[in-house]
Structure 1
Amino acid sequence: MLLDFFDDIAETFRSCNGLAILMVIPLVLLASPGYASQSFPVFRLQGFESGSNKNGSFGAAIAAEATTHIRLAHRKCFLMRMEETNAARLKDVVRMYPLAIVIILPDAEATLQLSEEQQQNWLEVESMLLEGEYPIPIYFALQSETVMQVLSDLKEITSTDSGSSAAKALVNAIFGNGFQIVASSPAPAQIPVTKFANIMASLINTRKNVELDSLMIVAHYDAFSPSADLSKEVDASGTGPACLLSLAKTLSGLYGSPENQPSLNVNFLLSAAGKVNFLGSNHYLQNNEQASKKMRLVLALDSLNGLEADSDTLYFHRKTAKSTSNAQLQDLLRFQQILEQTATDAGLKFEVVFRRPNADQWFQWEHERYSGYRAATISGHSNPYHPMRKSLLDNGQKINSRKLITKMEVVQKAVLQYLYNVSQVLHEEDQKNYYQQYQGLVSEEEVETLMHYVATQPHSSQYLGKGHPYVRSLYRSLSRYGKLAAIHEFSLDFSPSSAGAASVRKEDVVFYDQKQAIAFAYKVKPAVFDLFLSVAIAAYVGLVYLSVLSVPMLHSYLQSKLLFPQQSSPKQKAK
């Protein structure tokens, strides 16, 4: 019976089915258990060309093991939170040559909890991201329960990788779990034709038949920050249009009555591509040459809220004048004096900032697009280069509504006094009464509603053609108050097949498409585990193979012992 049993075993292992069973056993015993994947949206860092320079991220797909430890970042996907990020740490990560970087952003309300140091660190990181060229994909992920769970598990796994001893670290590196991050996205492609849309309206003096000079009110409405799909910039791209729309509403009531119409026309321009060298204003000037000659004064409105430290300061940016006798300068100086007085009456600080345009034709304030001494920018920022003007932190949470409305009321009062040539020579009590009649012109509810809308609608420069919902919404708002409202679309065409393709100039920006992707996080064994598993399986199969080969030898040995027992020795026989 025993020999028959061994015969059956040998016959089984001679067949393919037996060997297959032995092959599957180690896979079942050693393979890591399966885990369901977790997914979350990610947003790629902007990619663009400025002249001959490439900036931003030009990678897309991710398929790499994740880590939160810098020394383990080589050829992995590195995850980090905004709160923990600074320029030095980002440089250290990049030096490790990771396959991808994912930065987790807090929600809008959580940004209020960031310390001053954390905010400054992040602004430096944003500048570094926009000014450098990165061949790897760099993504932003919004903080969510799923993302934070993945990050928490990953940090726990990473902490075990650096065990208390080399042996423990080696064991953890082989048998510990890890996360594989996978995001499928096509490689960034250059946008051959970028469309922009100017939104215009006018208020015309109908009492006089002659063509009058005009006051030009302009504000750009587009945003530009490290992520195109997250660009909102409530202060940088929202407060200027809000003030312009409020002015249009107030002035439309005055121009509606012929007896109240001032002796100037007013043109409103919500300009496109403000973050692309103010191409919207440039297009307006090129296509409205006659109207540009009639501009007596140009006022650009930009980032009226400003920094928290400057929330009670109004800055007046204009070109340096060598002589005050210039005819164009007189109107600007008169408005400057009016604005300074009204700001002082409202309890605001007022400061004039002189600046010459850059020689490289890259403008920092919109009034620089308008030649001569007839233009100025009213802003809450003293420095055009402040990184907050292109930051994801400009999400509306730090808008001081009361201060913003006060600034808007000051601008409205100054414009009305300029249009109607109201004397500033008033007694103190008269000044107080005169200012009070302008209070309430700006609707706090309307301003807050518009700020909320801006904060919920990404509106990066390259997306805002005339059909974009954000553009249509602004057009409907302006058309309610201004006459001859229109949307004028223009484009930059860099497609090689286009007969009229534009050549890329130093001041032009060529955008690359920005695709939102879905990242999947799989909990898996580390890559070194696969190597260990392969060696273990090979050793196991080798042992099984040798064992199968030794079955006939074992069979023969047992057969000889059981069927042919040893005969008694001669001494035993003699006894």
Structure 2
Amino acid sequence: MWFDEVGEIAEVFRTSLPLSFLFFVPIIILISPVSPVGAAHDFSVYRMQQYDLQQTKYGCKNAIVNVEARPINANTYTRRCIVAQLHEMTNEKFKNMQEQNAGGLLVLLPSNMSRLSDKEKEHLLELEQDMMQEETVLPVYFTTETEELMEIYNDIKLATNSDQAASATEALLGAAWANGFQLVVNGPQSKSLPDYEIANIQGKLSGFGIEEQLPTIAIVAHYDSYGVAPSLAFGADSNGSGVVALLELARLFSKLYMNSRTHAKFNLLFLLSGAGKFNYQGTRKWIEDSLDASESSLLQDVQFVLCLDTLGSSNNLNLHVSKPPKEGSAAASFVKHLEEVKASFSPEVNFNVVHKKINLADDLLAWEHERFSIRRIQAFTLSHLDSHKHLERNSVIDTRERVDNQKLARNVKVLVEALARHVFDVQNQGNLEIFNGALDVQEESIGSWMDYLGTQSRAAQVLTKDHVIVAALEQALSRHLKDVKKVLSTADKRDPDFVFYSGAEFTMSAYNVKPAVFDLFLALAIAGYLGCLFLAGQHYSTVLMYVRKYTTPRKAKVQ
């Protein structure tokens, strides 16, 4: 009978408790519904900016995280990694984390920045600015929301209910059943990059005649982007749109300069400058090298410099100047041409000349043209923004969706027609259109370039001299211009104006862990279970009697 076989097995375990432990515990583990794969989750995180600019340190200096996760409403932040959604973060809470020596901060950003409400955008812009005011030792990371991360985040919030329990018993039970997480970022600590090279890409179209005796117009745009996290800084409008506008200008004028009948007596100099978001360091170095060069420099005969910055949206065009152009000067003539073209082809555009003096007491310059104005070179910046104080210029919300291809193409059309009228000395010609037909602005090409530049990070720390984006820009200029070259520059080692640091993107691991009190409850449960088995083995006959009593079918009564 099967009771006899069961009895023999029970006798074995009754006389050997360790054997019963080795037998039953693996069975419990095997039938457990918990999957070991679900105990850990890896995802990409993006560290906050870290750099030195003009002897001042900014951003977070630490990168390593290995602490338990807590939501932002936890009672204490000390030695905890705080996980928060964007709407929960405030500057006050960020300061509290620093004061309480939190072990880290992970901010969950919406997966689609373009869907943020105006209020949410304003909140993010202010938060970015506040967090980057000064250096912090708190490791700060950003990532985008996913379903897996939101599940982890909800579990983290539930795990802190015990911190706010009404009684000690409730807190103990809540802690025992809570589902906590240990957040870990492994990798090297950030290091300075003292020999980091900034790449400026320049090219030119030589005018008809003796090049050294011809006037020059310089067209400039910085190609890097900026945001609170370098790897999330796409800079589609600022300044991807400016770069795309410069490339289209180079393409269109190269077509004219290939034909002897339309070869203007002007030199056109094109420059894509690096590290523009860091007080235009690439432009500063390029100006110094150009003016101090022993051989003849095109900047010595430049009529004016036109800088392009943030042209991808809005029906406004603002020409920012540090010093209003004198009446009768080349710069004043160009401004007049801009007004005429705008009135003829794009009357919906609101064009204004914005005058702002350079404040040398400020740590940072407002616009790129100020670098030239300091050296007494006539320069201005064309932008749809009316002020340099717009926070969108340096934010992670500056994504591809912010750029309107049609408006960018229209702005390029106004600009190229005005430049053409200036270099060909066309006066009072009304609706004369120089660039049309095969020479018209290509909106499709503009959209393709914006898709490329506006969907990946172009932060200065990321764009090394051999980066694929730098190579692509150099190749694009080489197709239309002559003497295209990449000029590299580094910061002064003794007194550097800027210092970049390594470590922009990491992998964070979230390990599913239980608190120490859970181990106590588990140990008590296992001990109680094994104790019951032991007692059942010691009193096997009694247990067997009850088993037979309740398992043996009763005989039916005979009537």
The two structures have a TM-score, normalised by structure 1, of 0.80
8 Å Cα contact 1:315/1:350 also seen in 2: yes
Report if aligned partners of 2:65, 2:183 keep a CA contact under 8 Å in 1. Answer: yes
Hey, what does 1:251 align to over in structure 2? Answer: 253
2:234 aligns with 232
Please tell me the residue identity of whatever aligns with 2:41: Q
Q: Which amino acid aligns with 2:485?
A: A
Shift of 1:435: 8.0
- Indicate the residue corresponding to 1:405 in structure 2: 409
How far apart, CA to CA, are the structure 1 residues paired with 2:212 and 2:439?
34
| Alpha-carbon distance, 1:374 to partner | 1.2
Alignment of 1:402-481 (within 5 A): 402-424=406-428, 426=429, 431-432=430-431, 434=433, 437=436, 441-481=440-480
- Matched letter for residue 54 of structure 1: K
Alpha-carbon spacing, 1:388–1:439, altered in 2? closer, same or farther (3 Å): farther
1:531–1:421 distance in 2 versus 1, CA, 3 Å: farther
Contact 1:214 1:295 in 2 (8 A): yes
Matches of 1:320 and 1:439 in 2, distance apart? 38
- For residues 299 and 433 of structure 1, what CA distance do their matches in structure 2 show? 23
Task: Please give the alpha-carbon distance, in whole angstroms, between the structure 1 residues aligned to 2:72 and 2:284.
Answer: 48
Match of 1:318 in 2: 321
Name structure 1 gaps, 5 residues minimum.
Answer: 1-7, 494-500, 545-575
Show the 5 A alignment for 1:408-557: 408-424=412-428, 426=429, 431-432=430-431, 434=433, 437=436, 441-492=440-491, 501-504=493-496, 508-529=497-518
Structure 1 window deviating more from structure 2 (219-228 vs 44-53): it is 44-53
Aligned-partner Cα distance in 2 for 1:158–1:441: 62
Q: Report the residue type matching 1:149 in the other structure.
A: E
Cα distance change, pair 10–45 in 1 and its aligned pair in 2 (3 A): same
Which position in structure 2 is the counterpart of 1:355? 356
Cα pair distance change 1:397/1:492, threshold 3 Å: same
Deviations 1:439-491 (A, max 9, x none): 97221111111111012332211233331110010011111111111111122
* Inter-partner Cα distance in structure 1 for 2:379 and 2:435: 28
Among residues 213, 219, 222, which one is paired with 2:221 in the alignment? 219
**Inter-partner Cα distance in structure 2 for 1:474 and 1:399:** 19
* 1:528 positional shift: 4.9
Match of 2:213, SS? coil
Partner of 2:267: 265
Task: Name the CA distance, whole Å, in 2 between partners of 1:402 and 1:159.
Answer: 52
Once residues 73 and 134 of structure 2 are traced to their aligned partners in structure 1, the CA distance between those partners, rounded to angstroms, is 20
CA 1:210–1:226: 2 relative to 1, 3 Å: closer
Task: Give the distance between the partners of 1:333 and 1:457, measured in 2 at CA.
Answer: 38
| 1:23-34 aligned within 5 A | none
In 1, Cα distance between the equivalents of 2:68 and 2:100?
14
Partner of 1:49: 52
Alignment equivalent of 1:117, drawn from 110, 119, 124: 119
Q: Give the AA of the match of 1:516.
A: E
Shift of 1:433: 5.5
Q: In 2 relative to 1, CA 263–12 (structure 1 residues): closer, same or farther, beyond 3 Å?
A: closer
Q: Look up the SS of the partner of 1:456 in the other structure.
A: coil
1:355-382: CA deviation from partner (whole Å, max 9, x where unpaired): 1223146322111111326100001212
Provide the rounded CA distance (Å) in 1 between the counterparts of 2:435 and 2:13: 104
Q: What amino acid maps onto 2:101 in structure 1?
A: Y
Q: Distance in 2 between matches of 1:373 and 1:438?
A: 36
Deviation for aligned residue 1:409: 0.8
Q: Distance in 1 between matches of 2:204 and 2:434?
A: 26
1:236-267 deviations in Å (ceiling 9; x for gaps): 12111111111111110111112211221100
With over 3 angstroms needed to count, the CA separation of the structure-2 counterparts of 1:232 and 1:350, relative to structure 1, is same
With 140-149 and 193-202 compared, the bigger mean Cα shift is at 140-149
In 1, distance between residues paired with 2:212 and 2:34? 84
- Report the equivalent of 1:99: 103
Q: What's the offset of the Cα at 1:185?
A: 2.3
Offset, 1:139 = 0.6
Residue 352 of structure 2 aligns with an amino acid whose one-letter code is E
1:145 and 1:313 mapped to 2: Cα distance?
A: 40
- The verdict on how the C-alpha distance between 1:41 and 1:19 changes in structure 2, with shifts beyond 3 A counting, is same
Query: Secondary structure at 1:201's aligned position in 2?
Result: strand
Question: Which secondary structure does the structure 1 equivalent of 2:59 belong to?
Answer: strand
- Equivalent positions of 1:62-101 (< 5 A) are 62-74=65-77, 75-101=79-105
> Once the 2 structures are TM-superposed, how far is the Cα of residue 532 of structure 1 from its aligned partner?
7.2
Q: Distance in 2 between matches of 1:79 and 1:155?
A: 9
CA distances 1:196-237 after superposition (whole Å, capped 9, x unpaired) = 111111111243465212000010101122212222201112
Taking a change above 3 Å as real, the CA distance of residues 518 and 464 of structure 1, as seen in their structure-2 partners, is: closer
Cα 1:222–1:77 shift into 2, 3 Å: same
Say which is worse superposed, 243-252 or 373-382, in terms of deviation.
373-382
More displaced 10-residue stretch of structure 1: 350-359 or 143-152? 143-152
Name the % identity. 28
Q: Matched residues in 2 for 1:410 and 1:9: separation? A: 92
Aligned counterpart, 2:8: none
Indicate conservation of the 8 Å contact 1:195/1:462, yes or no: no
| 8 Å contact kept, 2:252–2:439 | no
The Cα offsets for residues 328-370 of structure 1, whole Å up to 9 and x where unpaired, read as x822122112212322330200111111223146322111111
Q: Could you tell me how far apart the structure 2 residues matched to 1:219 and 1:438 are?
A: 27
User: Structure 2: which amino acid aligns with 1:461?
Assistant: A
Letter in 2 for 1:526: P
Partner AA of 1:303 in structure 2: T
How big is the shift at 1:314?
0.5
Q: Distance in 1 between matches of 2:266 and 2:435?
A: 25
Give the partner amino acid of 2:300: K
Residue identity in the other structure for 2:487:
H
CA shift for structure 1 position 399: 1.1
**Contact 2:279–2:364, Cα closer than 8 Å, also in 1:** yes
Alignment of 1:152 with 2:154, yes or no, is yes
Once the two structures are superposed, the pairs formed by residues 306-385 of structure 1 within 5 Å of their partners are 311-321=314-324, 324=326, 330-345=329-344, 346-347=346-347, 348-360=349-361, 362-370=364-372, 371-372=375-376, 374-385=378-389
Bigger mean CA offset, 148-157 vs 264-273: 148-157
> Which amino acid is the alignment partner of residue 40 of structure 1?
F
Residue identity in the other structure for 1:44:
R
| Structure 1 residue identity aligned to 2:365 | F
TM-score, structure 2 as length reference: 0.82
Find the aligned partners of 2:438 and 2:315 in 1 and give their Cα distance: 17
* Distance of 2:210 and 2:13 partners within structure 1: 113
Cα deviation, residue 181, structure 1: 1.2
The one-letter code sitting in structure 1 at the alignment partner of 2:249 is: L
Tell me the number of residue pairs that the alignment of Structure 1 and Structure 2 aligns: 507
CA contact (8 A) 1:205 1:258 kept: no
Which whole-Å CA distance do the structure 2 matches of 1:146 and 1:359 have between them? 50
Do 2:158 and 2:179's aligned partners in 1 also have CA atoms closer than 8 Å? no
Q: CA deviation at 1:533?
A: 7.2
Spell out, residue by residue over 1:49-86, the C-alpha distance to the aligned partner (whole angstroms, 9 max, x if none): 22332211112111122122423452211112224434
Deviations 1:11-61 (A, max 9, x none): 989xxx69998xx99x99xx9967431111111111112233221111211
Summarize the Cα distance change of 1:80–1:377 in structure 2 as closer, same or farther, 3 Å threshold: same
- Once the two structures are overlaid, the 10-residue window that deviates more, 158-167 or 206-215, is 158-167
Distance apart, 1:438 and its partner CA: 8.3
Gap runs ≥5 in structure 2: 1-11, 292-296, 532-559
SS of 1:207 mapped into structure 2: coil
The question of 1:295 aligning with 2:296 is answered: no
Tell me the amino acid that sits aligned with residue 175 of structure 2. A
Report if the CA contact (8 A) 2:72-2:88 is conserved.
Answer: no
